[in-house]
Structure 1
């Protein structure tokens, strides 16, 4: 068996592809351009690049061609158990269009240096989002450019994990990482979203566990950094009216979530095959304004069943 090295991209190729991919992934968090969303603009460009990457390997098959088969499994489940809600139709349409395109678009980053360029592009983009979010914070939940605060926090949390990756790879200096981390953490807390904060911790632990050198020292650094973030949020006046501070001081009093979670576990027990994409509310008996249980894992297991969720 002979190993054929992947032809690396030049500087323009790395930067242009990174911009297109970032636009596809989080372009929806920015204002429209002439009434057209940034993600909508990036989508056809990403598709062209994917087709080029697949075509240039012919007659050999590109590994990314396996990705649609994974999506096909969920689609077949939707045929077997049809969706009966508008929310489910939106989820399925998004899964088979934007999500599928996003998954295969990873193939446009064909070499290791492209990954680093992509991470830096993401950091620049989310750094800007964080600044806008902080400037617009007036207590409660900031939303940047009128975005969903959860999606906004997810983008910044992903950037924080990317920054940690770059500093562990010695691609950026420690003081640069600390400045980026402070900016992104402030932006995340300004959104008032808790899930992305947990995701940062899990991502940081995963990176450190698979590192080869100074593992213990880096774990200690993560713990110290988490403690510093906790101190800043609970002490600094800027965060006094943050939703995060309220949750830390008073706890989570959202009884509806606890109720929905218990109902969802019962749905999973009764319907191991799943109830269908977007159909959770019909089986949970939730009020009309609630369409999901506010827990992505429970939602997936309830709607796709044991096989579908295992595949996902």
Structure 2
């Protein structure tokens, strides 16, 4: 080791590297690079134009959808699509749940949408004329053939004649018994017909208030004879307060020369506040009979 005096600056010494040591260092470095991989992972380069902007991406997606939509429309319109297959078109369009009436559809498609049903014609208006081969008889106040048995006059309490005296516009208001389950056997209205065969009876209910037309209901008996007596062959009831101004078909009944209809007086003509003076109405009755 060289001697260094205090007054002298230190001397720099250059020692030549040992070739063996340098070679060993290079070998160790090469081994480390071999263990870690002699090359670093390559990084992907960004596209030349840089990343797509959001607006440009949206425009590109829209164009792609339009192109695909054009292909789909062309296919459903019947133009050849992939494979050249044509799609059949429906003969009629409709909205589900709103079926088009069959008269507006092609004949071949109507049965599949709406079942065919026989149309029911509306009832013919009552003209007062019987069909061909039918004999029609009309009786009642102002028409003949009507009797008010046990009638009496007592103002608004008794029997009251109403109308102008002509057939079809005249009727009688008959007082009620006061009990909905009991009749006054000595008082009733009666229509008689000289008829044979099967007769359809229709009863005309006049217009009026409760004191004039108040049956709720009015009960009728039907007899196959001239006049009342014995056991009736049938009965029916009409709620006059709901049928004012209408003809009501009562049904068909057998007649062997004579037919009688009886109006009974059972009914309640009072309420919790006192008398209502409700009356049954006896107007025209028609019998349309076939032999």
TM-score exceeds 0.5: no
- TM-score (structure 2 length as normaliser): 0.19
The higher radius of gyration belongs to 2
